[in-house]
Amino acid sequence: MEYRKLGTSDLNVSAIAYGAFAIGGTMWGGNEKEDSIKAIHAALDHGMTSIDTAPFYGLGRSEELIGEAIRDRSRDKIQLLTKFGLVWDGSNNGKGEYFFDATEDGRNYPVYKLGSKANIIKELEESLKRLGTDYIDLLQIHWPDATTPIDETMEALQRLIEQGKIRAAGVCNYDLSQLKAAEKTVVLASEQVSYSMLNRGIEKDIVPYTIDKNIGVIAYSPMERGLLTGKYFKEAKLKADDHRNGYFGQFEANAVKTFLDTIAPIAEAKNASLSQLVLRWTSLQPGITVVLAGARNAAQAIENAKAMDLTISAAELTFIHEALSKL
């Protein structure tokens, strides 16, 4: 595993980090507790010391599973990255910006974006309890909230840093103007954004800015939620309540399959999976500090961690780039 400094913070994070959205179960067709905990243990044992989660993932379940999984581990050897700002429990009392309805156990939960100071403090305390820790390594706003001034949100994060409750502050899904506004109030360690072979929009503006300002980029959905593994063109099936049934529809399936068939020989020559090739490629892109990779069982976690063992030559990178240009 390779470890990288996150922005100007004192955090050293694993280049491949464990993404804990899927183990929450919500929007992913449920989860298996025992498999999830084994996946976290395997990730840690194979050098993925950074774990990214959020209160919304499983409506608290993801954080609880992580807290249980790391209970007997050395806390100072793990970097916990979590978030705030998606409220589903009604505690916002109508405040914030309506986002969407989440469904869990047959119930609908209206989800609101809320980045107010009071909500940040509330959510942080809840996360600390679920995770079983007294500090968070990186606290990130999950989505921009148009109803709360950015400086209010960032001032609250700065106070939490000063109080020692968080080590560093980050944002997620901010556009360039929002990123610049946030930087006026707090020194950001990172920006977490969607980035993959099929979704490279941030290369135009976000990446140049973060490189210039030394802000780490945490790439989520590098596998496009499993589409780039190639297995959904074969035998894999999705449960009816899995959000990917709709998510995959944004891509031209035949073009993606042709692309994966084109680069597959590179993976095969290295005795690697397509997943490993895709993750390693993502980790090598300019400005990308951390690549999030989800895993629902130990085998998947180990496979993700071992992606960093791959060497991709300049010629192979050029070949992949040329194949991408045809999408």
Instruction: Give CA 306 to chain center in angstroms.
Output: 18
- Asked if 57 is an active-site residue, the reply is yes
Sign of the torsion angle spanned by Cα atoms 156, 24, 17, 46: positive
**Dist. CA 305–CA 272, nearest whole Å:** 12
Structure tokens at 258: 């042709």
Q: How many helices (H) and strands (E) does the chain have?
A: 11, 13
Query: What proportions of the chain, in percent to the nearest 5, are helix, strand and coil?
Result: 45, 20, 35
Going by C-beta distance under 8 Å and a sequence separation of 6 or more, which residues neighbour residue 314? none
**Dist. CA 85–CA 108, nearest whole Å:** 18
Q: Which of 18, 57, 112, 232 is catalytic?
A: 57
At residue 95's C-alpha, the angle toward residues 94 and 99, to 5°, is: 85
At residue 263's C-alpha, the angle toward residues 259 and 265, to 5°, is: 140
Say how many CA atoms lie within 13 Å of 73 toward its Cβ: 22
Select from 291, 258, 298, 295 the least CA-distant residue to 277.
Answer: 291
Catalytic residues: 57
